[in-house]
Amino acid sequence: MSARAERSGTVTAPARETALGSFARAAIERNPAAVQLLGLCPLLAVSNTVANAAGLAVASAGVLIGSSLLAAVLRRIIPAQVRLPCYVLLIATFTTVAMLLMQAYAFELYQRIALFVQIIVTNCMILAHIERSQTGAGAARSGILRALVSSSGAAAGFALALLVMGAVREFLALGFPLAAMAPGAFLVAGVLLALTRVAQRFLENHVRH
């Protein structure tokens, strides 16, 4: 009985750790915006308020997770030679769905960020995530659950970056109007990226010692 418990413990624990580790790596260690510096165009343009940032975060998350799951399902069917056009087609499909849903249920928000919802299809962050998860290391073991965990982590990381940028810029704009403008977006992004690098180095040194 104890041997069975030990076997079940050794099988279950690593699976949980792997799922949690995959989510954390996608959200923090490989954060699309803060670490890989992907998707900066919508990040800088839409993050002038928390509401706009949240709207784009939800739309981007739906497109990223949906297209990643469908790419995982169709991975063995899609020919390697045309995988990138197929991935773009998947992303475009879910981008259209996101646009229609926002027009139906959040039209005022959609009017403010319509352009950047429409160009989610060209967001290199989403295409890079799908390409890495389907052709990179561990792609042979990539299944639907693994795609769900990693894409959810990447979506959470991108949403976190958007919301932090939106909150900081909206707060600073109360007494510093430049923060709500394009130059302010670059200044705030530069400061936040610098703080992120400092925090990463501190954590690395802390873990080592």
80-116: per-residue pLDDT in tens? 899 999 999 999 999 999 999 999 999 999 999 999 9
What pLDDT digit, counting tens, does each position of 40-75 carry? 888 898 999 999 999 999 999 999 999 999 999 998
How many CA atoms does the CB half-sphere of 62 hold within 13 Å? Answer: 17
Residue pair 54/109 in contact by the 8 Å Cβ criterion = no
Helix (H, G, I), strand (E, B) or coil at 191: helix
pLDDT of residue 162: 93
Percent over 90 (pLDDT), the chain = 51
CA dihedral 163, 165, 170, 175 (to 10 degrees): 150
Q: Rounded CA gap, 35 and 113, in Å?
A: 24
Say how many C-beta atoms besides its own lie within 10 A of residue 50's C-beta. Answer: 19
pLDDT of residue 170: 93
Provide the CA 85 distance to its chain's centre, in angstroms: 21
Higher pLDDT, 118 or 140: 118
Q: What is the DSSP letter of 34?
A: T
Say how many C-beta atoms besides its own lie within 10 A of residue 165's C-beta. Answer: 23
Q: Rounded CA gap, 189 and 141, in Å?
A: 36
Give 16's pLDDT tier (boundaries 50, 70, 90).
very low
pLDDT of residue 134: 81
Q: Which has the closest alpha carbon to 50: 180, 184, 199?
A: 180
pLDDT of residue 186: 92
3-state secondary structure 37-87: CCCHHHHHHHCCCHHHHHHHHHHHHHHHHHHHHHHHHCCCCCCHHHHHHHH
Residue pair 127/84 in contact by the 8 Å Cβ criterion = yes
Higher pLDDT, 106 or 34: 106
Higher pLDDT, 85 or 134: 85
Average pLDDT over residues 19-32: 84
